[in-house]
Amino acid sequence: MRFTSRPKMNYMPGTASLIEDIDKKHLVLLRDGRTLIGFLRSIDQFANLVLQQTVERIHVGKRYGDIPRGIFIVRGENVVLLGEIVSRQQTHTLTLQDLEKESDTSLQQVCIEDILEEQRLQQQSRQEAEKTKHLALKERGLVMPRSDIMDEYGVQHQY
């Protein structure tokens, strides 16, 4: 019987593969829905991140606002998505069709106060819609657990 050596890996396993991304600008989507943008300065074996010059980006419709947060430490278990932000200079030459698509989906930056007010109104609207849905289901004999009284493990609490 003849043994052959394992093929060499062209990548580093686990979070070690992110070492190449140190000092690059990244977007981080957190489990609670927040979006952070900052420079990745450190990472460990648990995917805990240290971001510098971090801003929290809030989206409402096609508008957004950035809240400066400075240095931000993120526990690895809270990271849903991590991606490098590439500038236009680093990308290939855009075609006219790419520019047209981009103009259709482009976002408008607004001041922090405006985006926070829009976010508050959006959350209020969602809560009202959830209450209406809950009442309609209750009238039909269906009781759904409300998300505002459930913990992260789906256990309902009586308040």
> Residue 66 CA to chain centroid, in angstroms?
14
Question: Does pLDDT of 12 surpass 90?
Answer: no
**What are residue 137's phi and psi, to 5 degrees?**
-70, -40
For domain 15-85+103-140, the CATH architecture is: Roll (2.30)
Question: Does pLDDT of 136 surpass 50?
Answer: yes
Question: Does pLDDT of 29 surpass 60?
Answer: yes
Where residue 27 falls among pLDDT bands split at 50, 70, 90? very high
Mean pLDDT comparison of 4-13, 66-75, 98-107, highest-scoring range: 66-75
Dihedral angle sign, alpha carbons of residues 16, 17, 23, 29: negative
SS3 for the chain is: CCCCCCCCCCCCCHHHHHHHHCCCEEEEEECCCCEEEEEEEEECCCCCEEEEEEEEEEEECCEEEEEEEEEEEECHHHEEEEEECCCHHHCCCCCHHHHHHHHHHCCEECCHHHHHHHHHHHHHHHHHHHHHHHHHHHHCCCCCCCHHHECCCCCECCC
Domain ranges of the chain: 15-85+103-140
Average pLDDT of the chain to the nearest whole number: 81
- Rounded to whole angstroms, how far apart are CA atoms 70 and 38? 9
pLDDT of residue 129: 92
